């Protein structure tokens, strides 16, 4: 029997039909490569409408790359990057930030995946002393790896602190769309207007085939990014096929509809789990549900469904919804779970 992956990750979904159709339409004739094509021009224009007219926009191929190249642009090798212990850049990039940017990560223990200024202050004791990596970037994930969401004010507070201390604020926005959907904010309110200097903005987890971007708000970081992207092995030749996806992604606010739907499905899923007396361990704000599954259930349900156990010790699991999760899928899952519960 095929294992069901539908709740394993939002990158187990396919490509949204409208986005796929845009790729098909772009598949005609010759287009100059490496980004000088008409689709890329159009996509960048839309990014500027969404994020601000003066932003720099660079498409890359993986979320890891968006993060690592953002960090590279905003740091020297003797710098440190401050982030939550759970941050993707700390846990899930196989050391790419250290290897490529040469920096040190300095991590903060959190309950929810969110960090606050008071946790960062201690790292500044090291400023100016050459024995220690010099803090230069605060990096936050919006949505966090625990599915929680920073408000614009929370982001501003981190940005202000960063800027007061000659640091930059980086946002890993692999699921930024879901945060916008939850908060009812537009993209600008959570990024440039809140003081973000450089953003990894992803479409892959929200209905695109592949499409990640680096959006640069702070013009100091803009000039040389094209070289960083190329040396970072991320300059895609047939760029039109990413660009056209982003055009469709933004067309008719598809990005927001997709994200809203995914978030709603998480709420439905959480409710179903609660009805089964399964404990939800983090606030469900975006498209992730963290929950404690009794041990005997866990083994049994995982014979049918693959999903990640986040904390082995506590049997805490992560369930993700996506743009194409359907209520009936959730109901089937809840029913299968009920059977396991016996």
| Footprint (CB under 8 A) of a second copy, residues 235-294 | 235-238, 241
Distance set, CA 267 to CA 12, 205, 271, 300 (Å)? 19, 18, 6, 24
Q: How far is the CB of 194 from a second copy (least distance, A)?
A: 27
- 227 lies in the binding site for a second copy (CB under 8 A): yes
Kind plus residue range of the DSSP H or E element containing 272: helix 254-275
Binding a second copy (rule: CB under 8 A), the pick from 41, 49, 77, 166 is 77
- 153 lies in the binding site for a second copy (CB under 8 A): no
Binding a second copy (rule: CB under 8 A), the pick from 54, 125, 274, 339 is 125
Task: Considering only the stretches 94-102, 179-187, 256-264, 284-292, report the one whose residues sit in contact with a second copy under the rule CB under 8 A.
Answer: 94-102
The greatest distance separating any two alpha carbons of the chain, rounded to the nearest whole angstrom, comes to: 62
Q: How far is the CB of 208 from a second copy (least distance, A)?
A: 9
- 311 lies in the binding site for a second copy (CB under 8 A): no
Q: Which of residues 156-175 bind a second copy (CB under 8 A)?
A: none
Comparing C-alpha atoms, which of 226, 220, 256, 258 is closest to residue 239? Answer: 226
Task: Considering only the stretches 10-18, 45-53, 143-151, 213-221, report the one whose residues sit in contact with a second copy under the rule CB under 8 A.
Answer: 10-18
Contact indicator for 148, 140 with CB cutoff of 8 Å:
no
Q: How far is the CB of 284 from a second copy (least distance, A)?
A: 21
Comparing C-alpha atoms, which of 90, 254, 224 is closest to residue 170? Answer: 90
Sheet holding 104-108, edge to edge: 56-60, 212-216, 198-202, 168-173, 134-141, 79-84, 104-108
Q: How far is the CB of 256 from a second copy (least distance, A)?
A: 21
- 143 lies in the binding site for a second copy (CB under 8 A): no
How would you class 154 by CB atoms within 10 Å of its CB: exposed for 0-12, middle for 13-18, buried for 19 or more?
Answer: middle
- 61 lies in the binding site for a second copy (CB under 8 A): yes
- 18 lies in the binding site for a second copy (CB under 8 A): no
Contact indicator for 75, 98 with CB cutoff of 8 Å:
no
């Amino acid at each position: 029997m095929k294992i069901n992956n539908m709740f394993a990750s939002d990158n187990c979904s396919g490509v949204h039909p409208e986005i796929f159709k845009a790729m098909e339409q772009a598949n005609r004739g010759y287009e100059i490569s490496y980004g000088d094509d008409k689709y890329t021009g159009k996509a960048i224009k839309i990014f500027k409408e969404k994020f601000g007219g003066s932003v720099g926009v660079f498409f890359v191929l993986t979320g890891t790359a968006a993060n690592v190249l953002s960090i590279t642009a905003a740091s020297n090798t003797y710098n440190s990057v401050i982030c939550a212990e759970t941050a993707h850049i700390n846990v899930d990039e196989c050391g790419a930030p250290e290897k490529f940017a040469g920096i040190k990560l300095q991590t903060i223990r959190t309950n929810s995946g969110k960090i606050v200024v008071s946790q960062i202050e201690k790292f500044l004791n090291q400023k100016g002393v050459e024995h220690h990596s010099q803090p230069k970037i605060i990096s936050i994930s919006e949505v966090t790896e625990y599915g929680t969401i920073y408000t614009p004010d929370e982001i501003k507070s981190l940005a202000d602190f960063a800027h007061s201390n000659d640091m930059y604020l980086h946002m890993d926005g692999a699921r930024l769309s879901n945060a916008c959907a939850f908060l009812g904010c537009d993209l600008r309110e959570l990024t440039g207007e809140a003081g973000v200097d450089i953003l990894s903005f992803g479409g892959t987890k929200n209905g695109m085939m592949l499409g990640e971007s680096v959006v640069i708000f702070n013009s100091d970081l803009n000039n040389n990014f094209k070289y960083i992207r190329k040396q970072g092995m991320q300059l895609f030749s047939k760029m039109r096929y990413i660009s056209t996806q982003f055009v469709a992604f933004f067309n008719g606010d598809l990005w927001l509809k997709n994200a809203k739907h995914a978030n709603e499905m998480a709420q439905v899923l959480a409710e179903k789990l609660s009805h089964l007396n399964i404990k939800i361990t983090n606030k469900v704000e975006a498209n992730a549900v963290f929950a404690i599954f009794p041990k005997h259930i866990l083994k049994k349900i995982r014979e049918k469904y693959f999903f990640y156990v986040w904390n082995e010790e506590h049997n805490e699991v992560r369930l993700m919804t996506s743009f194409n999760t359907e209520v009936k899928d959730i109901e089937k899952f809840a029913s299968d779970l009920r059977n396991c519960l016996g």
